[in-house]
Amino acid sequence: MDKRYTVFVSSTFKDLVDARWAVARALMRLNLIPLGMENFTASDKSQWEIIKKTIDLSDYYVLILGNCYGSIDPETGISYTEKEYRYALEQGIPCLTFVSKDLPLKPEHIESDEHRQKLKAFRDEVSVGRMVDFWSNPDELSGKVLTAAHLATLDSPRPGWVRNRETSPEVSEELARFGVPPENWTVSS
């Protein structure tokens, strides 16, 4: 069966834009469907409602941590990245975590002491009780994500998406009503 899996890619954005694009390209090369905030558009729903719905549609969740803690959710006081991670865990979605090492810190990415402390605590939290991998540049990261995502599809199979080659009962009834023979009721590829 030809199945496609969706992968929610979570990270801070401003400091990891190159890493996110490298990971998205790598996932697409493996015929996986990357999902993330850069694909969101205007909506009358809240940011968190859209994030939750997108995570709910995901088969796997990739967390990429760099040097920034990120935007804070005003309701919880934690970053959206941390909130997304906790939500994915609550939903039972397999989480693949990649923590940066030795990334250069650009002056525009320096955060407050409070944010740095929260980031350290979050990095420590995600490193307990599960395997994490470490990365130093976007190319190394994308290779590690590819390997982990491939193994996840084998070790933790998920529903995924399968092209529906069959017609629904309603469509079949309509086709029969119009005299289309049953052997022509499947969708050609």
Q: Any idea where the domains of the chain sit in the sequence?
A: 3-158
pLDDT value for 141? 96
Neighbouring C-alpha atoms within 13 Å toward the C-beta of 122: 30
Among the listed residues 87, 83, 67, the one whose alpha carbon sits nearest the alpha carbon of residue 75? 83
Please state the separation of Cα 77 from the chain's center in Å.
22
Spatial separation of the C-alpha atoms in residues 17 and 30, rounded to whole Å:
20
Spatial separation of the C-alpha atoms in residues 105 and 94, rounded to whole Å:
30
By CB neighbour count within 10 A (0-12 exposed, 13-18 middle, 19+ buried), where does 109 fall? middle
pLDDT value for 189? 40
Q: Would you say 189 and 28 are in contact if contact means Cβ atoms under 8 Å apart?
A: no
pLDDT value for 140? 96
pLDDT value for 102? 76
For 3-158, CATH number? 3.40.50.10140
pLDDT value for 44? 85
pLDDT value for 2? 76
pLDDT value for 188? 44
Cα 138 to Cα 25, 99, 189: the distances in Å are 11, 12, 36
pLDDT value for 181? 67
pLDDT value for 178? 64
Phi, psi of 93 (to 5 degrees): -85, 130
Phi, psi of 32 (to 5 degrees): -95, 155
Among the listed residues 135, 49, 130, the one whose alpha carbon sits nearest the alpha carbon of residue 93? 130
Mean pLDDT by 10 residues, the chain (189 residues): 88 91 94 84 82 94 94 92 96 96 73 88 92 95 96 93 70 65 55
Q: What residue type is assigned to position 93 of the chain? A: I
pLDDT value for 184? 56
